[in-house]
Chains A and B, each alone.
Chain A
């Protein structure tokens, strides 16, 4: 039996095959999926913001790109994954509003994407696939067994990366 484990906004969860991880309605947020193809264990983090060091409230590490990746690596270590085998896939980072003002929050998706890529590189995790940007939401289902990431959208198709 395979279960689908739900991951909420600003949340991080680990699963072992055959279980899958899912997060619904990624807009400017990013779903960071990290897995070890040998041990078949994976983590999905749903981050909202790029940087915990600029926040007045960094306690929830799953909320930020930088601290969520550190937290994901700790979880993967605890569950027998090897750092050199880790691969990452990411989805999200869209800009959801049309005709927006010049407000900074409208660019949050782009800032999140850059921060996630930068922090994956910093920890030497190979980014093998990404589906980021655009102006549409994404619901993702991550199969930690084979590392496939199913992406569903409204009006922008469905794909596996």
Chain B
């Protein structure tokens, strides 16, 4: 069966996708925790099939000031990976990574070093997520270099969603939230498989029928 329409996914397929989200994000959360030396928890991944218009709401609305680190996945199942977080959280993570007191970094003084630290963080989270996915599915997947954007959530998502717009009006979002101290949402990690990739992933997971 070709899964061309996201709405046709069965419950079993949705569960299988959540499971890869779990494994990928579980490893990514561990990597993140090691970098910032703090306990990081994650929620149960959510699989949502959304109109483009509804995606910014997942991260607080199109106007929310965020930092987004974006990577493209090449290989047998092309996808987009996006680690996106409110700008205040990004500043906190930068301070933790660089051993600075909390509040040292503020949005106004984010510069090349801070961007580079955030991109490295996005890189490590994405690579860990992908490695787990590769080990689980035996698919050949490789990430691009990261790109960073710091602005309104809607604006950051535009360019990423536009490439899905050529072939679809909906996007499948596999989302995990990372939390620190059991409450604060540190950031959201999204995997957006290209429509053609979904079938490849489901087949690799043994749930293509």
Contacts and interface: CB of A to CB of B under 8 A. Distances in A.
Interface of A: 8-11, 24-29, 48-49, 54-57, 59-60, 63, 94-101, 103, 105-106, 108-109, 136-139, 154-155
A147 to B, nearest CB: 24
B119 to A, nearest CB: 7
B154 A137 contact: yes
B161 A9 contact: yes
Contacts of B147: 97-101, 106
B114 to A, nearest CB: 12
A96 B165 contact: no
B122 to A, nearest CB: 11
B159 interface: yes
Contacts of B157: 9, 25, 27
A137 B145 contact: no
Interface residues on B, range: 35 or more
B167 A103 contact: no
Contact of A49 (B51, B63, B151, B162): B162
Contacts of B107: 155
Interface string B52-72: 110110000111010000101
B153 interface: yes
A137 B167 contact: no
B154 A63 contact: no
A120 B144 CA distance: 36
B5 to A, nearest CB: 11
A24 B162 contact: no
A103 B146 CA distance: 11
B110 to A, nearest CB: 10
Interface in B143-189: 144-149, 151-163, 165-169
Nearest to A54: B166
A54 B166 CA distance: 8
Contact of A25 (B72, B108, B146, B152): B152
A60 B169 contact: yes
B166 A56 contact: yes
The 6 closest A-B pairs by CB, nearest first: A25-B154, A137-B155, A27-B155, A25-B62, A27-B158, A8-B53
Contacts of A101: 72, 144-145, 147
Contacts of A96: 149, 151, 155-156, 158-159
B166 A57 contact: yes
Contacts of B159: 27-28, 95-97, 105-106, 108-109
B53 A28 contact: no
A138 B63 CA distance: 9
Interface string B20-47: 0000000000000000000000000000
A144 B111 CA distance: 39
B162 A48 contact: yes
B159 to A, nearest CB: 4
B70 A48 contact: no
Contacts of A108: 159, 162-163
B145 A9 contact: no
B115 interface: yes
B154 A10 contact: no
